[in-house]
Amino acid sequence: MRLRHGPAIIVFLALLGTLLPVRGAADDRAGISLANRATANGCKGEPTNYVSGYFSPDDKLSGVFWCTRDPEAESDRFLIVVVDRHPRGQLKCPNVIRSINPPQQLRILRDKRIPLSEFVVRNGPSKKGPAGQYTTGPVIDTGDDVIGEQWFCHKGGWLVRVYH
């Protein structure tokens, strides 16, 4: 069988592959698909907005997605899940973050230095992050630059910064 639009189809499929969630060999080696990870972490729906490369831009063994935990819950309806498929886990915080607000989008910021004093402890909102220190690694941003939340793993716990 001969394809009439062979090169165009190949380019289309290559572009499509860059838009779909990463589910390749890394998931197969771990034996767990992103959908199964979502279910195992308490999601009621499919993983949404998977972004690969949590630890570094080229890291295909890590990423972040969000999902709905319980659409009827009064609080913590949404989950942000950090995927760490490294043989020795690199994540120092719990891999699941419970959020009240649905993410507008999902992205990982690496080059932004944000004072930790602008963050609060997720489970203790009266406790601010330490003064004089800045984010030094990946920051999960769930907003649209106007309103949103930023999450940063610090000493084994998640700090959150709400901006608007």
How many C-beta atoms surround the C-beta of residue 143 within 10 A?
Answer: 19
pLDDT tens column, 3-47: 344 443 333 333 333 333 333 333 433 447 899 999 999 999 889
How many C-beta atoms surround the C-beta of residue 46 within 10 A?
Answer: 14
Give start and end residues of each alpha helix (H) in the chain.
Answer: 6-19, 25-30, 34-40
* Tokens read off for 31: 């034996």
Rounded Cα gap, residues 127 and 122, in angstroms: 9
Provide the edge-to-edge strand list for the sheet that holds 157-163: 107-109, 139-141, 148-154, 157-163, 120-121, 124-128
Residue 5: DSSP 8-state:
T
Q: Where are the domains of the chain?
A: 6-163
pLDDT tens column, 52-104: 999 999 999 999 999 998 877 778 889 999 999 999 989 999 999 999 888 99
What pLDDT is attached to residue 74?
Answer: 76
User: Tokens 């080229």 belong to which residue?
Assistant: 58
Q: Which residue(s) pair with 139 in the sheet?
A: 109, 152
Q: Higher model confidence: residue 159 or residue 77?
A: 159
